[in-house]
Amino acid sequence: MKRIVDSVASRLAFFPPDPPMYEIKPSDSDPNKLLFRWATPGGGKRIVNCECQVLRLQHFKTGCGRTSSAGEICAAWLPHKRQSSLTVLFSHGNAVDLGAVLLFCNELSRDLQCNVLAYDYSGYGRSGGTPSVTTSLSDIRLCYDWLLEQGIPPSKIVLFGQSVGSGPTVDLAAKMPNLAGVVLHTPLLSGMRVLNPNWRYWPSLLDVYPNMRLIAQIKVPVLVMHGTQDEVIDIAHGKELHGLCKRPHTPFWAEGYNHQNLEMAPGYLPALRDFMRHCATRQE
């Protein structure tokens, strides 16, 4: 059954940039510095440095009494310069990798005064393996466990899922009752409802990222953010998910903004700041 689900998902959700949008190179000042590269109008490459700790997180499998490596994913740790009360675990969308989102995550860390851990799914960027629903759920759990190993309790972690990243985010949040909160940026109801929103019936066992079935199990505050002109995932997805939340926070509906520019809306950061304050005060 997992093979069927992953086969469906591969046609719906997983489009890793090829080649990856960044490189990891050692430097004199920081052997783990992450270097981004983007194509420029002239066909060349522009290198931008971002100060962060690059992590190679290992998946392990156990069999016949032995534990062996099952691949690794690439993640980036951006601790805030001040001691922060909250940490964001960021799961990006389907057609990007760390090279496209890490500067945005850096801005989140600065503007929200929080730590951020961002990562690439298996098969994305410099992560090994092949992208699938199964591996993406393992990837976010691997990152979550790393945060716990650093001494960060669940009550200080905010899960942030962007687009397809809402799938792993909702799946994990539904299992973790003591998180600080959850942010869903242009989320989907489920994979099949993005592919064909007019289908009323679809075998639930063959659907992917069934957020609409899982979100009611989330026991912490949830902020849903969506643009009214979203051309990839209609705002109806966000509104229905907001209505299904057990602990909905005031949603952010950005008039005139779409799937690609929601974060540019004037009220985007203020809405996030308000939510982060709410999550922080809950723990006091």
Among 23-27, 42-46, 100-104, 254-258, the least confident range:
42-46
Q: What is the mean pLDDT of the chain?
A: 85
| CA 139 to centroid of chain Cα atoms | 10
201-223 exposure pattern, b = at least 16 Cβ within 10 A, e = fewer: ebeeeebbbbbbebbeebebbbb
Q: In the structure, what pLDDT confidence band is assigned to residue 5 with cuts at 50, 70 and 90?
A: low
For 123, counting Cβ atoms within 10 Å of its Cβ (0-12 exposed, 13-18 middle, 19+ buried), the class is buried
Structure confidence by residue, pLDDT tens digits, 94-140 = 999 998 898 899 999 999 999 999 999 999 999 999 898 889 999 99
Alpha-carbon distance 111 to 251, whole Å? Answer: 19
- What pLDDT is stored for residue 203 in this prediction? 57
Residue 41: pLDDT band (50, 70, 90) is: very low
Domain 2-282 annotated CATH 3.40.50.300: no
Q: Are strands 87-91 and 34-39 parallel, antiparallel or unpaired?
A: unpaired
Q: How confident is the model at residue 218 (pLDDT cuts 50, 70, 90)?
A: very high
The answer to whether 5 and 14 are in contact (CB under 8 A) is: no
**DSSP-derived secondary structure letter, 141:** H
Catalytic residues: 163, 230, 259
**Tokens at 272, concatenated:** 């996030």
Task: Round to whole Å and give the CA distance between 73 and 125.
Answer: 9
pLDDT above 70 as % of the chain: 77
User: At residue 69, what is the residue type?
Assistant: S
SS3 content of the chain, % helix, strand, coil (to 5): 35, 25, 40
Domain boundaries, the chain: 2-282
pLDDT 10s digits, 158-210:
999 999 999 999 999 999 999 999 999 999 998 776 766 665 655 566 678 99
pLDDT grade for 84, boundaries at 50, 70 and 90 = confident
> Mean of the pLDDT values across residues 257-275?
97
CA distance 220 to 235: 22
pLDDT for the residue 99: 87
242 touches 251 (CB < 8 A): yes
